[in-house]
A and B are shown apart, each in its own frame.
Chain A
Amino acid sequence: MQKKVIVSWLLMMMFWISACGAPAPAAEAPEAAQPAEAAEALTPQAGGEIVVAYKDDLATLDPAIGYDWTNWPTIKMVFDGLLGYDSGTTLEPRIAAEMPTVSEDGLVYTFKIRPGVKFSNGREVTADDVVYTLTRVLNPATASPGAGFYVGIQGAQAFIDGSAATVEGIQALDAQTVAFTLTAPDATFLNKMALNFAFLVPQEAVEAAGQDFGRQPVGTGPFTLVEWKSGEYLVFERNPAYFQPGRPMLDKVTIRVGVEPSVAVLQLEKGDIHLMGDPPPGAEWARITADPAWTDRIEVQPKVNTTYIAINTTTPPFDNVKVRQALNHAIDKERIVQLLNGRASVANQILPALMPGHDDTYEGYAFDPEKAKALLAEAGFADGFETTIQCIAVDPQPKLCESFQQDLANVGIQLTIETLAAPNVIENAGNGLNPLTWSGGLAWTQDYPDPDNFYAPILGCDANVPGGWNWSRYCDEELHAQSKELLAMTDRAARLEAYKPFFRTLMDAAVWVPVIADQYNVAHSEKLHGQPLLTHPEHGFIYETMWMEP
């Protein structure tokens, strides 16, 4: 199912790029869409340099600290973990020699380390590095935002509280073997081991750099950082000691920061840069997609993301499920996609299309203002009411909220828009102060491809606390108990099937209006290629496999 979605029409359009020999998930693309160029097979070539432009400055390259979409792909350049993903969402061993063995009870995971993997300082990776890395993430002094992912390891809580000097559940059995013991079975544990937070760091380099490790990173990744000028650029060079033979293809990657997307488009057209870190502005999208010169310069791939209106289920009249359902019928999602110049797709449920567990047969709430009015009348709001939505004040979010405003006016609801800076919206929504919150620009993008990642952190009872991300303030105890059972299921197929009715219950409760699924809209030089693509649903850009035509 995964692959079917990846092979979207735009991807087919670019089939010839992926036909360059790499094991492409797009293999089943139709013959008709194949342009003539597909014939002259492009062989990936080593060498070459690229320049990438980003709007925001990079914060840090410390894998224990960095936690946003600019940092993640860049951290992946310098670091690597025991596990990673193939070109889709299937886990594969990276620094681990093979997938780990799991004990019968699902509590103990044993990893073998691939021999001969070296940090860029020349030292070989051992099991002690794994122990050090995860202990460091859990150590309160590190203040890692990822610590919460690993508290399920036995003894982690005691270590955090200070009552234990080491984490009992992380043990190096010998130089090449490391075992993790969990307190309860967790179907997502291996996904968590593929997160950036679990990327291996060498103790001696961390200690030598002190707090500056994020700017002097040492890892096992395909590149090494050679220069960083704050607010200007970062220069990465090929790591000759990289353990994957023949990779990376590029010799040098320069990341320029602080470049406005409008200007980056000009730089790309002029040939100053080869890749835009941010999507081209909506204002330019219609122009460049219509321009034949740009055909080979655009890559579109869906993101594992749902952008939604969170409905605060504790604020009247939204405590009435009919009102929430009415809202779902009132919003014209096609119009939102049009306002985004087609840079998104309509979402009809909580789980994104790319997420395992997504229900292809579910139809969702149709855009039907009459039905919305009827539901409002049933709920006793035939004359409508007044309410407020908060949106972040960054284009294009305010204009999308204006569209909601008009949609709701059509069914008699008078919507006031409050546009604020992102931290304020997050704070207000997290404290249950907003009747409605538009998640655009703050939207939930998965940490790992597991449906639980779309429940527990944003709709679960544990997140329904002041400051939590459950902006719907929704907690169904029964559902919550069920989610814990689902997490312990080991049969993956059965587990994913069980999530379908689970999320249907949430949709029936109409805790969100799922509006759109975001996508990667990448503008790049026609000479820059990926294998098969420049972006990956988990990692964003994958610099490791990028290559330049001479």
Chain B
Amino acid sequence: MGAPALSSVGVAPARAGVTPMAYWPLVWRRLRRDRAAVAGLALVAILALLALAAPWLAPYDPAEQFRDGLTPAGQPLPSTLPEGSLRFLLGTDAVGRDLFSRLLHGARVSLTVGVLANLLTVAIGTLLGATAGYWGGWVETLLMRVTDMMMAFPTLLLAMALVAILKPSMGIIIAVIGLVYWTWIARVIYGQVLILREREFVTAARALGTPRRRILLAHILPHLLPTVIVWGTLGIATNVMLEASLSYLGIGVQPPVPSWGGMIQQGQAYYRTAPWLVVAPGVAIMLTVLAFNLLGDGLRDALDPIQRGRD
């Protein structure tokens, strides 16, 4: 068992020793070679562009409720009107608004909430989980008990209390998601660190007298990267959905601002009569998740400190 231990020790310092100039171009080169990752990157870029350009691309004001936007019986209009015109590209929603315009504008809210809230959860979760797992002792006890408490606390009550105290806004939504869901990542990371800290390359580094903080940052964190990326990419979809369930409680973005989750929320009862109300934002969410996943996988491979030896 001596050889693997040596090689492990060999990898980590080597990674730390590589100058940023040499490391990041390498990552970029490997990312570019990965066709799936490039597709993911392109898709992310397109989505971001669509969101940014929404005011210019959208044919209508996303909040405008058209008099002729509903059937006389009050049902949403499908995309193909009887006259065959394409007045509403994707049809209208339950209030008679243009679904396509709302989809474009919704991208702004949903992408922002999805990405930012996720950054927040991942950052808090990784930091606390890794610290607790590696530091041990009373730090571990304290941090993990706080995590337990946060995890055991009912989100619904917390969200209701927060919305009653604060005015709902995008910032609040991001904060609520971030504050509530970091516990998950913290636990996962904690579990991994418990194992990592007993791995040969860490014990060896410790034996060599490397400072604790340095071991955590240089040796343990890189090994957590795959997990962090998985959470970072899948979490985006979950957050978009969470925003929807928060809007159910009244803490979501306030009407008439569109969000994909909120659109699904409003549209799901129409699953038989106007299925496009859910399908359109659902596909948008799926494309977003797909994009970030492809990119995430590519990044994971490109950044992988162990893999690098194979190049």
Asked if A and B touch directly (CB within 8 angstroms), the answer is: yes
List chain A positions with a Cβ less than 8 A from chain B. Answer: 262, 281-287, 289-290, 338-342, 392-393, 395-396, 398-399, 401-403, 405-406, 416-421, 424
Q: Kindly provide the distance from the CB of A429 to the nearest chain B CB, expressed in whole angstroms.
A: 14
Q: Kindly provide the distance from the CB of B43 to the nearest chain A CB, expressed in whole angstroms.
A: 32
Q: Kindly provide the distance from the CB of A371 to the nearest chain B CB, expressed in whole angstroms.
A: 19
Known A286-B74, A341-B75, A393-B248; judge A402-B255 contact (CB<8 A): yes
Give Cα A396 to B248, complex, Å: 11
Give Cα A401 to B250, complex, Å: 13
Q: Kindly provide the distance from the CB of A398 to the nearest chain B CB, expressed in whole angstroms.
A: 6
Stretch of B65-73, B131-139, B227-235 on the interface side: B65-73
The contact of B254 among A282, A392, A417, by CB within 8 Å, is A417
Q: How large is the interface on B (under 10, 10 to 19, 20 to 34, 35 or more residues)?
A: 20 to 34
The contact of A399 among B95, B250, B254, by CB within 8 Å, is B95
> Digit string of B36-70 for contact with A (CB within 8 Å is 1, else 0)?
00000000000000000000000000011100001
Give Cα A458 to B56, complex, Å: 48
Within 8 Å of chain A (Cβ to Cβ): is B272?
yes
Q: Are A424 and B73 in contact (CB under 8 A)?
A: no
Give Cα A393 to B159, complex, Å: 14
Cβ–Cβ < 8 Å partners of A282 in chain B: 74, 94, 269
Q: Are B256 and A405 in contact (CB under 8 A)?
A: yes
Cβ–Cβ < 8 Å partners of B72 in chain A: 338
Known A283-B270, A399-B266, A406-B63; judge A418-B73 contact (CB<8 A): no
Cβ–Cβ < 8 Å partners of B75 in chain A: 286, 341
Q: Are B255 and A403 in contact (CB under 8 A)?
A: no
User: In B142-173, which residues have CB < 8 Å from any A CB?
Assistant: 160, 163-164, 167-168
Cβ–Cβ < 8 Å partners of B254 in chain A: 416-419
Q: Are A283 and B163 in contact (CB under 8 A)?
A: no
Known A402-B256, A406-B65, A421-B249; judge A341-B95 contact (CB<8 A): no
Q: Are A399 and B94 in contact (CB under 8 A)?
A: yes
> Digit string of B195-230 for contact with A (CB within 8 Å is 1, else 0)?
000000000000000000000000000000000000
The contact of B250 among A287, A290, A393, A405, by CB within 8 Å, is A393
Cβ–Cβ < 8 Å partners of B63 in chain A: 402, 405-406
Give Cα A291 to B254, complex, Å: 36
Looking at B63, B64, B254, B273, the one whose CB has the most chain A CB atoms below 10 A away is B273
Q: Are B73 and A341 in contact (CB under 8 A)?
A: yes
List chain B positions with a Cβ less than 8 A from chain A. Answer: 63-65, 70-75, 94-95, 160, 163-164, 167-168, 247-250, 254-256, 266, 269-274
Q: Kindly provide the distance from the CB of A53 to the nearest chain B CB, expressed in whole angstroms.
A: 16
Looking at B164, B269, B271, the one whose CB has the most chain A CB atoms below 10 A away is B269
- Which partner residue on chain A sits nearest B65 by CB separation? A406
Give Cα A289 to B73, complex, Å: 10
The total number of A-B Cβ pairs within 8 Å is 90
The contact of A418 among B95, B249, B250, B270, by CB within 8 Å, is B250
Q: Kindly provide the distance from the CB of B66 to the nearest chain A CB, expressed in whole angstroms.
A: 10
Q: Are A419 and B255 in contact (CB under 8 A)?
A: yes
Known A283-B94, A286-B71, A398-B255; judge A421-B250 contact (CB<8 A): yes
- Which partner residue on chain A sits nearest B76 by CB separation? A283
Q: Are A284 and B250 in contact (CB under 8 A)?
A: no
Cβ–Cβ < 8 Å partners of A262 in chain B: 269, 271
Cβ–Cβ < 8 Å partners of B70 in chain A: 338-339
Cβ–Cβ < 8 Å partners of A395 in chain B: 266, 269
Q: Are A287 and B273 in contact (CB under 8 A)?
A: yes
Q: Are A287 and B272 in contact (CB under 8 A)?
A: yes
Cβ–Cβ < 8 Å partners of A420 in chain B: 163-164, 250
Q: Are B255 and A284 in contact (CB under 8 A)?
A: no
Q: Are A421 and B160 in contact (CB under 8 A)?
A: yes
Q: Kindly provide the distance from the CB of A83 to the nearest chain B CB, expressed in whole angstroms.
A: 40
Q: Kindly provide the distance from the CB of B263 to the nearest chain A CB, expressed in whole angstroms.
A: 12
Cβ–Cβ < 8 Å partners of B160 in chain A: 421, 424
Q: Are A417 and B74 in contact (CB under 8 A)?
A: no
Known A283-B274, A402-B65, A403-B65; judge A342-B250 contact (CB<8 A): no
Looking at B163, B250, B255, B273, the one whose CB has the most chain A CB atoms below 10 A away is B250
- Which partner residue on chain A sits nearest B73 by CB separation? A286
Q: Kindly provide the distance from the CB of B63 to the nearest chain A CB, expressed in whole angstroms.
A: 7
Give Cα A70 to B96, complex, Å: 32
Cβ–Cβ < 8 Å partners of A416 in chain B: 254
Give Cα A392 to B255, complex, Å: 13
Q: Can you list 21 pairs linking A and B with CB atoms under 8 Å apart?
A: A283-B269, A283-B271, A284-B273, A285-B73, A286-B71, A286-B73, A287-B273, A341-B74, A342-B74, A393-B248, A399-B94, A402-B63, A402-B65, A402-B255, A405-B255, A406-B63, A406-B64, A418-B254, A420-B163, A420-B164, A424-B164
- Which partner residue on chain B sits nearest A265 by CB separation? B272
Given A339-B74, A341-B75, A393-B250, 7 new contacts (CB under 8 A): A282-B94, A398-B266, A399-B94, A402-B256, A405-B255, A417-B255, A424-B160
Q: Kindly provide the distance from the CB of A262 to the nearest chain B CB, expressed in whole angstroms.
A: 6
Cβ–Cβ < 8 Å partners of A421 in chain B: 160, 249-250
Give Cα A399 to B97, complex, Å: 11
Question: When A and B form their complex, which 9 residue pairs have the shortest distance between CB atoms, in order from nearest?
Answer: A393-B250, A283-B269, A341-B74, A286-B73, A419-B250, A283-B270, A420-B250, A286-B75, A338-B74
Give Cα A418 to B164, complex, Å: 10
Looking at A283, A286, A287, A289, the one whose CB has the most chain B CB atoms below 10 A away is A283
Give Cα A286 to B94, complex, Å: 12
Give Cα A342 to B72, complex, Å: 9
Cβ–Cβ < 8 Å partners of A289 in chain B: 73
Give Cα A401 to B266, complex, Å: 14
Known A283-B273, A283-B274, A287-B273; judge A401-B74 contact (CB<8 A): no
Give Cα A403 to B97, complex, Å: 11
Q: Are A342 and B73 in contact (CB under 8 A)?
A: yes
Cβ–Cβ < 8 Å partners of A401 in chain B: 255
Give Cα A370 to B191, complex, Å: 66
Q: Kindly provide the distance from the CB of A331 to the nearest chain B CB, expressed in whole angstroms.
A: 13
Q: Are B272 and A284 in contact (CB under 8 A)?
A: yes
- Which partner residue on chain B sits nearest A424 by CB separation? B164
Q: Are B74 and A402 in contact (CB under 8 A)?
A: no
Give Cα A338 to B96, complex, Å: 10
Q: Are A393 and B272 in contact (CB under 8 A)?
A: no
Looking at A338, A403, A417, A424, the one whose CB has the most chain B CB atoms below 10 A away is A338
Give Cα A395 to B254, complex, Å: 14
Give Cα A416 to B63, complex, Å: 13
Looking at B70, B74, B255, the one whose CB has the most chain A CB atoms below 10 A away is B74
Give Cα A421 to B168, complex, Å: 13
Give Cα A341 to B249, complex, Å: 24
Q: Kindly provide the distance from the CB of A417 to the nearest chain B CB, expressed in whole angstroms.
A: 5
Cβ–Cβ < 8 Å partners of A392 in chain B: 250
Give Cα A285 to B76, complex, Å: 12
Q: Are A286 and B255 in contact (CB under 8 A)?
A: no
Give Cα A262 to B164, complex, Å: 30
Cβ–Cβ < 8 Å partners of B65 in chain A: 402-403, 406
Give Cα A290 to B288, complex, Å: 38
Q: Kindly provide the distance from the CB of B94 to the nearest chain A CB, expressed in whole angstroms.
A: 6
Give Cα A406 to B96, complex, Å: 12
Q: Are A393 and B249 in contact (CB under 8 A)?
A: yes
Cβ–Cβ < 8 Å partners of B64 in chain A: 406
Give Cα A399 to B93, complex, Å: 11
- Which partner residue on chain B sits nearest A393 by CB separation? B250
Cβ–Cβ < 8 Å partners of B94 in chain A: 282-283, 339, 396, 399
Cβ–Cβ < 8 Å partners of A284 in chain B: 269, 272-273
